[in-house]
Amino acid sequence: MAHAAMPEDVMLPPPSRAAGAGVYTEKLGMWIFLGSEVMFFTALIGTYVILRFAHPSSWKPPGQVLNIPVTAVNTFLLICSSVTMVKAFAAVQDGFLKQLRLWLLATVIIGASFVGVQVYEYTHLIEKGFIPSEGLYGSTFYTMTGFHGFHVTIGVLCMIFVTQKAFRGKYSQADHRGVEVIGLYWHFVDLVWIILFTIVYLI
Amino acid sequence: MRGAVRPGPLQDARRRDRPHAGRLRPLGGTSPLGRPTLKVSTMATTATGSSTYTHDHGHGHVDDRSFIRKYIFSTDHKIIGIQFLIMSLSFLLLGGTLAMVMRWQLGFPGKPLPGGTLLPDTYTSNGVVLPEFYNSAVTMHGTFMVFFAIMPLLVGVFGNYLIPLKIGAPDMAFPRINMASFWTAVPAGLLMLAGFFVEGGSAAAGWTSYAPLSARSDLTGVHLGQIFWCLSLIILGLSSIMGSFNYITTVINMRAPGMNWFRLPLSIWALFVTACLVLLAIPVLSGAAILLLFDQTIGTHFFDPQAGGQPLLWQHLFWFFGHPEVYILILPGMGMVSDIIANGARKPIFGYTSMVLAIIAIGFLGWGVWGHHMFQSGMNPTLGTTFMISTLLIAVPSAIKTFNWLGTIWEGNITFHVPMLHALAFVSMFVIGGLSGVFMAASPFDIYIHDTYFIVAHLHYVLFGGSLFAIFAAVTYWYPKMFGRMMNPFWGKVHFWLTLVFYNCTFFPMHQLGLHGHMRRIYDPTQYAFLREVQPVNVFISISAFCLFATQFLFAANFILSWFKGEKAPMNPWLDNGLEWTVASPPPHGNFGDVVPTVYRGPYEYSSPHSDQDYLPQNLPMPGGMGAAHPQPAGD
Ligand code: HEM
Ligand SMILES: [Cu+2]
C-alpha cells in the first residue's frame, strides 16, 4: 500500500533506453558546431545588408567590378564537389570502398580548385585596384568571400585527412563516421557560398 | 493507474509531508558541517548490496599517464576544470588590482598612487595615474573580469568540472577538443595582457570598445593594444565555441541511464542553456571583432563614418552578443545556487519545472533585448519602446527563479554552511541588481541615468553580487570534490561577512552617485563643480573597495592553504544527492570506474518521506530497507 502511494520517480526502475539524441556523438557535435557557424556568417551577412541599405551608392552595379562568369563557374565547381561528396558517402554506405576513395579524391581536387580560382580572382581584382580599403564595397567583398574561402580551405584540409584515412582503409560500411561528419561541414560551406554568391555578386 | 495514485511530485512536497523536515538524524560521525553524518557506503550496502552505488576504485584502474598528460595537457575534464580555475582566479586578481587603481584615482584624484612611481612613465607621472592609464585600466578591468574571470570561472570551470560528473559520464564527449579549449584560452589571456607592454599601451576604449573610438588609433593613441584586444577575443571565441559545443553534445548524448531531462540538476540545466548561448552569441562577437580588426589593420571602413561605415553597427553587433553574454554570466550561477540552496535548506528545490522553464525562457528572451543598451544611441525611439517591453518581460523568469529560491528556503531547516551563505547573498544581491535593471529597462528613466554610475552599480550588483557570490559558493561547495580537502569554514565565514559588508559599502552608494549625474569612466570627478559635493561618497566607496579587495586575500589564503593543509574531505561532505558525491574526493580518472551509474530520481530529494535518511541519492535504487522487495535495474 505504501508502495502504491509512492511517486513514480522513486518506484520505477530507470528506463532501459540510453539517454541521448539517437545520433552518434561526432555527428551531433558537428550539427551543433554548425549552429555557431551559422551565427558567424549571420553576423557578416547582416553587416553587409545593413551597410548596403544605408549606403547603396558605395556599390557598383553587378558585373562592373566583379567578374561574374568566372565566379559562376567557380560556384558550379563547388556545387559539383557537394555532389561528389554525396557520392562518396553513398559509396561507403553501400560498402564500395574503392569508389569512396575516388569520390573523396575528386572532392578534394574540386575543393582545392575552388580556392585556386578565388586566389586568381583576388589577384586580378587587386591588380585592377579593387582593394579591401576600397570603400564599403571592397571592405565587405573581401571580408565575406575571404572568410568563406578560409572555411573552404579548412574543409579541404580536413577532407585530405579523411581521404588519406580512406586510402588506409579506415572506413567501412559499418563505421564511416568521419566521412559523414566532414560531409555535413562541406555541404554547409557550400550552402553559405550560394547565399554569398547571390548577395555579393548578383544583386 | 499508477498515474492516478501518484500523490504529486516530490519536488514540491510540503514540510508536513516530510518526516524529517530538514533535520539530520544523528547517525554517528561528525561531518565538516559540525553535524552528524551518514556512513554512505554502509548505507548503500544495507540498502541493496548494489555495486552501482559503492564504487571500488582500488583495483583495475592504474593511472599510468605521465605528469604532462596528467596535469598539463590533460584531457580529463576535472583537470581542465581546475586549470581553468587557476587561470581565471589569477585574472580575477589582476582585474581586481586594476579596479583598485581606478578607485584610487576616483577617490583621491591627483594624489600619487601607492607604488605608482614604480610604474613606467607612460602610466604615471610622479606616481599620479595618467588619464591614458586610467582609460586602459577601465577597459582592461572590464575585459578581464567579463571574458577572463567570470565567464571562464562559471563556464570553463564548473561547466567542465560538473557536467560529466553530474550526468554520470566518464568524461566530455570530445576530451581532446576540451583540452584545446583550455590551451587556446591561455594564449588569448596572455595576448590581452601583452597589450600593457606595447607602445601606446593596452586597449582603452572601454570593454565595449565602441567604434569609432576603437577603430581609429588617431583618436586614442592606442594602436597595437586595440589590435591585441580584438585578436585575443577572437582566439578566446574559438576556445568558448570548442567548449560549448562539447558541453551541449555531452549533455545531450552522454547522460547516464535514467538521467532524463527532468532529473538533471538545475546547475546542469543552466550550464546547458548557457552553453547554447555561448555557442550562438560568441561567433557574433568574433565576427564583430574581426571587422574591427580589419578596420584597424587593413583599412576597411566598417565602423568609420567618414567612409560610409556605421558606428552604430558596432553597437548592434556588440550588444546582440552582449546581452546574451550577461546571461551567460549569470545563468550558471543561478543553477549552482539552486543546487546549493536546496542542499542548505534540506528541502527539494521549490518548483523544479518552473525553474527549468525559466532558464529556458531566459535563454530565448535574452536574444531580443539588446537594444536596452542603446536607448541613448540615436536608435529609432519606436525600436526603443519594443526593447523596453522585451526587457521588462525578461524580468519575469528572473522573478520566478527568485520566488522559487525563497520557496525553497521557506520553512527549511537551514544549514548555514559557507556555500549556503554565499548562495543566500547571491539571491539577495541579485534582487537588488535585478530591480535596478527593471528601472533601467524603462527608457524614460534610462535616458536619465544612462552612462552614469547607476549603471556601474547595476552591473556590479548582478556581476559581483550575483555571479561572483555564486562563484564563491560554488568554489567552496565543490572544493572538497576537486581537491579532496575542505576549505576552512571559519575563515570562509569571516571572508563571507567582510565581503558582504564591504561589497555593499562599495557598490550601493554608486546608485546615489549615478542619480546625482556622476558619469561613468571619467578620470577626475572633481573637475566638475556639481560632482565636487559628492566627492566624499567617492572617498567612502574607494576605502570600502580597498577593504573589499584586501578581504579577498583571505579567500586566496584559504584556497591555497586548504589545498595542502585542509581537513581531508569525505566522499559526501554536504550530504548531497548528486552523482558526483558518490565517488571518491577527488574522483579518479574516468569518474565512475567501470560502473555506469544508474539514476532513479531527481537530485533534490532532501528530507524525503521515502527514506529513513535525510537525503536520497540519485543513484540509490531503493530507499533504505525497502530495497530487497524490488527488482534490480538491468545490468546490475
Ligand atoms: C532583471 C534582469 C535585467 C535587466 C532588466 C537589466 C537591464 C539592463 C539595462 C536596461 C541596461 C542598460 C543600461 C544603460 O546602459 O543605460 C543594463 C546594463 C548592464 N547589465 Fe543588466 N539587466 C538585467 C540583468 C543583468 C544581469 C543578470 C547581468 C549580468 C550578470 C547584467 C549585466 C549588465 C551589464 C554588464 C550592463 C552594463 C553594460 C555596459 O557596460 O554598458 N544585467 N542592464
Ligand atoms: Cu542587457
What three-state secondary structure class fits B615? strand
B313:A42 CB<8 A: no
- What's the CA gap between B304 and B170, in Å, rounded? 50
Spatial CB neighbours of A74, under 8 Å, sequence gap ≥ 6: A114, A117, A118, A121
- What's the CA gap between B459 and B521, in Å, rounded? 14
Ligand 1 centroid vs A24 CA: distance in angstroms? 39
Q: How far does the CA of residue A55 sit from the closest CA of chain B (Å)?
A: 7
- What's the CA gap between B401 and A148, in Å, rounded? 42
B287:A5 CB<8 A: no
Q: Measured at the alpha carbon of residue B542, what is the angle toward residues B539 and B543, in degrees to the nearest 5? A: 90
Distances (CA, A) of B119 to B101, B104, B116, B206, B471: 12, 15, 5, 22, 32
Q: How far does the CA of residue A8 sit from the closest CA of chain B (Å)?
A: 7
- What's the CA gap between A43 and A32, in Å, rounded? 17
User: What secondary structure letter does DSSP report for B14?
Assistant: -
| Pocket residues: Cβ below 6 A from ligand 1 | B 208, 326, 329-330, 372-373, 391, 394-395, 398, 434, 437-438, 440-441, 446, 450, 455, 458-459, 462-463, 466-467
- What's the CA gap between B266 and B268, in Å, rounded? 5
Q: pLDDT at position B623, please? A: 57
Residue type, B432: I
The residue to mutate among B209, B459, B467, having the most atoms of ligand 1 within 8 angstroms of its beta carbon, is: B459
B287 vs A: CB within 8 A: yes
What three-state secondary structure class fits B205? coil
Question: What is the enclosing helix (H) or strand (E) of B124?
Answer: strand B124-125
Contact B48, B632 (CB under 8 A): yes
Confidence of residue A19 (pLDDT cuts 50, 70, 90): low
- CA-nearest residue for atom 33, ligand 1, is B459
Please report where in the chains the cell 514540510 appears, as a residue: B15
Q: pLDDT at position B71, please? A: 82
Please report where in the chains the cell 583599412 appears, as a residue: B299
- CA-nearest residue for atom 35, ligand 1, is B459
Q: Which residues of A touch B8 (CB under 8 A)?
A: 7
User: What secondary structure letter does DSSP report for B291?
Assistant: H
- pLDDT tens for each residue of A38-60: 999 999 999 999 999 988 888 98
A7:B309 CB<8 A: no
Question: What is the enclosing helix (H) or strand (E) of B128?
Answer: strand B128-129
Is the pLDDT higher at B280 or at A133? B280
B310:A51 CB<8 A: yes
Q: So what's the ipTM on this one? A: 0.90
Q: pLDDT at position B260, please? A: 87
State which ligand 1 atom lies nearest to the alpha carbon of B376. 16
Ligand 1 centroid vs B271 CA: distance in angstroms? 20
Cell triple for A140:
565587405
Ligand number nearest to the C-alpha of B400? 1
Summarize chain A as % helix, strand, coil (round to 5).
75, 0, 25
B485 φ, ψ (degrees, to nearest 5): -135, 155
- pLDDT tens for each residue of A144-186: 999 999 999 999 999 999 999 999 999 999 889 999 999 999 9
Ligand 2 centroid vs B396 CA: distance in angstroms? 15
CA A18 to chain centre: 31
A143:B291 CB<8 A: yes
What three-state secondary structure class fits B202? strand
Q: pLDDT at position B369, please? A: 94
pTM: 0.90
Ligand number nearest to the C-alpha of B433? 1
Which residues numbered 585-624 in B keep a CB inside 8 Å of some CB on A?
A: 598-602, 608, 610, 616, 621, 623
B293 vs A: CB within 8 A: no
The residue to mutate among B155, B325, B400, B458, having the most atoms of ligand 1 within 8 angstroms of its beta carbon, is: B458
B634:A50 CB<8 A: no
Q: pLDDT at position B61, please? A: 54
Ligand 2 centroid vs B450 CA: distance in angstroms? 12
To probe the interface with A, which of B177, B253, B279, B314 has the most A CB atoms within 10 Å? B253
B279:A138 CB<8 A: no
Handedness of CA B92, B94, B96, B99 (dihedral sign): negative
CA A11 to chain centre: 48
B125 φ, ψ (degrees, to nearest 5): -125, 125
Q: Which of B347, B316, B325, B244 is nearest to B281 (CA)?
A: B325
To probe the interface with B, which of A27, A38, A40, A144 has the most B CB atoms within 10 Å? A40
Q: In the A/B pair of chains, how many CB contacts fall below 8 A?
A: 157
B93 vs A: CB within 8 A: no
Q: pLDDT at position B64, please? A: 72
- CA-nearest residue for atom 20, ligand 1, is B459
Q: Which residues of chain B have pLDDT under 70?
A: 1-63, 622-636
3-state helix/strand/coil string of B414-483 = CCCCHHHHHHHHHHHHHHHHHHHHHHHHCHHHHHHHCCEHHHHHHHHHHHHHHHHHHHHHHHHHHHHHHH
- Verify cis geometry, omega within 30 degrees of 0, for the bond prior to B586: yes
CA B555 to chain centre: 17
Q: pLDDT at position B21, please? A: 42
Contact B99, B113 (CB under 8 A): no
To probe the interface with B, which of A3, A9, A31, A48 has the most B CB atoms within 10 Å? A9
Q: How far does the CA of residue A63 sit from the closest CA of chain B (Å)?
A: 22
Q: How far does the CA of residue A98 sit from the closest CA of chain B (Å)?
A: 30
Q: How far does the CA of residue B551 sit from the closest CA of chain A (Å)?
A: 40
Contact B619, B601 (CB under 8 A): no
To probe the interface with B, which of A6, A10, A137, A144 has the most B CB atoms within 10 Å? A10
Residue of B3, B287, B307 with shortest CB distance to A44: B287
Q: How far does the CA of residue B290 sit from the closest CA of chain A (Å)?
A: 9
